[in-house]
Structure 1
Amino acid sequence: MNDFYRALGDIRNIRRQMAETTAFRGYGPLTLSATAGFALIGGGAQSHFIPDTTHHPSRYITLWSAVAFCSLLLMAISTKTRTRRHHSGLEQEMIRLAAEQFLPALIAGIALTLVLARCVPGSAWMLPGLWQILYALGVFSSCRFLPRALFAAGAWFLTTGLLCLSLADARALAPWTMTVSFTLGQLLIALILRITTAETTDQDA
């Protein structure tokens, strides 16, 4: 019986090693482009419904949290479908590895949002910059099994996040800070994945 469980453990280790050395193709360019559209919608909604974010930081947080949730939900559905199609046999391992790259940044973002919103509401202007920096860290972390060119996208989000923090006041809550950063950033990721996917297909052919 011990030999049986040892064999199962060896199989799991082999499958994980295979997943770690396989380029992940679960993120779809079209889906990422759609999340860029969500950012545009979020910016438009903020402009129309929350013109004064200084007095309504909770509304700002609620709006962009909803945008993030919709984006994550769409990405989760698309990623599961694409992973099943492109990584047949390694689906669970690939999805687990992908989640491990982004979960720390996601959890940190949720925790920071809750703490600032509840305990230091006057510091809500820091959130756009912090969100973008944490997202950049998630992108950098994912580059270990995604195209290296995505470092450019991580650098974009890191730069825009720092620029938001440098505003040092409620100007960081303006609609354009999140809209410009995530719309262009997500489109950049989509473009890189589109190009590298096409290159991989040509090489395989």
Structure 2
Amino acid sequence: MSDLHKALGDISNIRRQMAQSTQFRGYGPATLAATGVIALLAASMQSVLLPDPANHVSAYAGIWISTAVLSAALAGVQMYTRTRRMHSGLSDEMICMAVEQFLPAVGAGVLVTIALVRFVPTVVWMLPGLWQVIFSLGIFSSCRFLPRPMIAAGAWYLLTGLVCISFGDSRALDPWTMGLAYGAGQLLVAGILFVATPEGADEN
């Protein structure tokens, strides 16, 4: 029985090593472009419903957290089905690898949001910039199994996040600091995948 367990362990390690050396094709360009459009729609909604976000921090956070959850759910479902199609027998390993790369950034974003909203609401204007910087770190950590030009998307989010932080006040809560950053950023990601990944144009 121990020999069987050892053999199964060896097979698992081989499959994981194969996954680590394979370019991940589970992200679909059209779906990621759709998340960019969702960000632009959220910015439009904020501009109409929340003209003074600095005095309605919970509502502001609610709009953008809901947008993030919706976008993540859309991308997650599509990633699962696309990975099954693109990576076949390695799909489970590829999905786990993709999630492992981005999960620390997601966790950090959640904890930073809770800390600022709950304990230091006076500096909650920093949230858009911090979200974008943290998102850029998630992209950078994922670049090793994505097309090389994806570094440009990480650099975009890092730059926009730093610009938001440099405002130094509630101007950073303007709807378009998030809408344009994520709208353009996700369209950039989609464009890179479409051009750099042969299967990009075949997404269903």
Normalised by the size of structure 1, how large is the TM-score?
0.96
1:72 aligns with 2:89: no
Instruction: Supply the distance in 1 between the matched residues of 2:200 and 2:59 (Cα, whole angstroms).
Output: 44
Instruction: Report sequence identity in percent.
Output: 55
Instruction: Supply the distance in 2 between the matched residues of 1:31 and 1:199 (Cα, whole angstroms).
Output: 14
Q: Secondary structure at the match of 1:181?
A: helix
Please show how residues 1-205 of structure 1 align to structure 2 within 5 Å: 1-198=1-198
Q: Secondary structure at the match of 1:144?
A: helix
Instruction: Supply the distance in 1 between the matched residues of 2:3 and 2:199 (Cα, whole angstroms).
Output: 44
Q: Deviations over 1:5-29 (max 9, x none)?
A: 1011001000000100111000000
5+ long unaligned stretches in structure 2? none
Aligned partner of 1:38: which letter?
I
Q: Deviations over 1:28-50 (max 9, x none)?
A: 00000100011011101100111
Instruction: Supply the distance in 1 between the matched residues of 2:110 and 2:38 (Cα, whole angstroms).
Output: 19
**What's the C-alpha RMSD, in Å, of the aligned pairs?**
1.2
Instruction: Supply the distance in 1 between the matched residues of 2:28 and 2:49 (Cα, whole angstroms).
Output: 31
Q: Secondary structure at the match of 2:74?
A: helix
Aligned partner of 2:33: which letter?
S
Q: Secondary structure at the match of 2:58?
A: helix
Moved over 4 A (4+): none
Q: Deviations over 1:157-198 (max 9, x none)?
A: 000000000001000000110011000000000000000123
Q: Secondary structure at the match of 1:23?
A: coil
Give the total of aligned pairs: 201
Aligned partner of 2:50: which letter?
I
Q: Secondary structure at the match of 2:23?
A: coil
Q: How far is 1:199 from its partner?
A: 8.3
Normalised by the size of structure 2, how large is the TM-score?
0.97
Contact 2:40/2:179, CA 8 A, preserved across alignment: yes
Q: Secondary structure at the match of 1:148?
A: coil
Instruction: Supply the distance in 2 between the matched residues of 1:179 and 1:198 (Cα, whole angstroms).
Output: 29
Q: Deviations over 1:83-120 (max 9, x none)?
A: 00000001110000000110000000000001111111
Q: Secondary structure at the match of 1:7?
A: helix
With over 3 angstroms needed to count, the CA separation of the structure-2 counterparts of 1:48 and 1:32, relative to structure 1, is same
Aligned partner of 1:22: which letter?
T
Q: How far is 1:122 from its partner?
A: 1.1
Instruction: Supply the distance in 2 between the matched residues of 1:128 and 1:34 (Cα, whole angstroms).
Output: 20
Instruction: Supply the distance in 2 between the matched residues of 1:198 and 1:8 (Cα, whole angstroms).
Output: 33
Contact 2:193/2:200, CA 8 A, preserved across alignment: no
With over 3 angstroms needed to count, the CA separation of the structure-2 counterparts of 1:200 and 1:110, relative to structure 1, is closer
Instruction: Supply the distance in 1 between the matched residues of 2:78 and 2:56 (Cα, whole angstroms).
Output: 34
